[in-house]
Structure 1
Amino acid sequence: MPTVIVEGPKIGIEGKRELVRRITEVVKDVYGIPHVTVLIKENLPENVGVDGELLSDRRRG
């Protein structure tokens, strides 16, 4: 059973439903396997650094 892990910013429940539905469709088509697990890991901007800066600091500036 394929497992897909998506890490990104927080999104609403409808966005999560859409993301899971669409990822599952693609993985099923490519693998030809009926069971797919999608894990969504939401990261707060204070826990993500890009180019040496926290995202939370970049948004303030």
Structure 2
Amino acid sequence: MPVITVEAMPMTTDAKRELVATLTHDASRIMQVPETSIYVFIRENPFDDIGVAGKLLSDIKKENASKK
């Protein structure tokens, strides 16, 4: 039973569906196991809980929005 865990920022349900389908298909092909044996867990992290280049992602989004 392969398990794939993805840590990501919040995503739409459609984006999650596409991600799960793609990861499952590709992992099945590469590992030569049936797709039904693959589990995908998505852990969404709020923008306040993600840091990039020493800044919170929520602050980076605000900075970018104010530049537009």
With normalisation by structure 1, the TM-score equals: 0.90
Could you say what the CA RMSD is over the residues aligned between the two structures, in angstroms? 0.9
- Which protein is richer in helix relative to its size? 2
Which string of whole-angstrom CA distances, capped at 9 and with x for unpartnered residues, describes residues 5-53 of structure 1?
1111111111111111110000000111111010111111100011111
The percentage of aligned residue pairs carrying the same residue is: 36
Superposed counterparts of 1:37-48, under 5 Å: 37-48=39-50
Could you tell me how far apart the structure 2 residues matched to 1:18 and 1:53 are? 29
> Structure 1 stretches of 5 or more lacking a match?
none
Segments ≥4 residues shifted beyond 4 Å: none
With normalisation by structure 2, the TM-score equals: 0.82
Could you tell me how far apart the structure 2 residues matched to 1:32 and 1:50 are? 36
Find the counterpart in structure 2 of residue 24 from structure 1: 24
> Structure 2 stretches of 5 or more lacking a match?
64-68
Larger radius of gyration: 2
Find the counterpart in structure 2 of residue 36 from structure 1: 38
